[in-house]
Amino acid sequence: MEKKNIVVLTGAGISAESGIPTFRDANGLWEGHDVMEVASIEGWHKNPALVQEFYNLRRKAALVAQANAAHYALARLESAYLVSIVTQNVDLLHEQAGSSHIVHLHGRLDQAKSSIDDRLVYPIVGDEIKMGDLCEKGSQLRPNIVWFGEAVPAIEEAISLVSNADILIIVGTSLQVYPAAGLKEFAPSHCQTFLIDKKITSDRALRNIQCFEESATIAVPKLVEQLLY
């Protein structure tokens, strides 16, 4: 029998349970910084050194974080389904847990890219990008992160995956950040959809979605058991 397609959309809530803070829990502040200062293209143009240091600190924190029970449970789904993880998170916790097909919508903390040519992407050696580190075209290297005010290159791939999903699982996201928040609208009519988040707003758009208002580490393993057995 052909394996069914599961697409999992993950947001900051699943990483928060591994100790990686989310800026939305602090009224848009990240360690005292307005998010637009450190996570927008305007912020980069205004103060690249501040943005660089901010992401160097994020990278150090992500490198010591450990995948949690939710990440490991999602990896187990591959034993019975074709699974694609579409994540808004820039850490590598899904990779650490063993998931094999991951689309990073908002980029990856372990990569640098040219600030003048998006095609020039490099692995980061160590945990820092320094001011003065240049790409082969001579421009400053920056984090390979999609900031506010920038296009999301992987969104088309994500839309294609969701369009072919038999089961859609949304974990740890408030469904407030677009374009990622609109992905569920591309699910086909037969697709079963599950939403797992600690805070779920009452919304008519969720009427055909099975909701679990619980933490990811509790609800995801339970749902995975249900889907596997």
| Non-local CB neighbours of 66 within 8 Å, separated by 6+ positions | 18, 93, 96
Q: Which among 224, 225, 217, 222 has a CA at the least distance from the CA of 13?
A: 217
Which one of the listed residues 94, 101, 106, 190 is annotated catalytic? 106
CA 196/CA 9 separation, integer angstroms? 10
71 is catalytic: no
Six token digits for residue 154: 């992987």
CA distances, 45 to each of 30, 38, 148 (Å): 19, 10, 13
Query: Which residues are catalytic, by number?
Result: 106
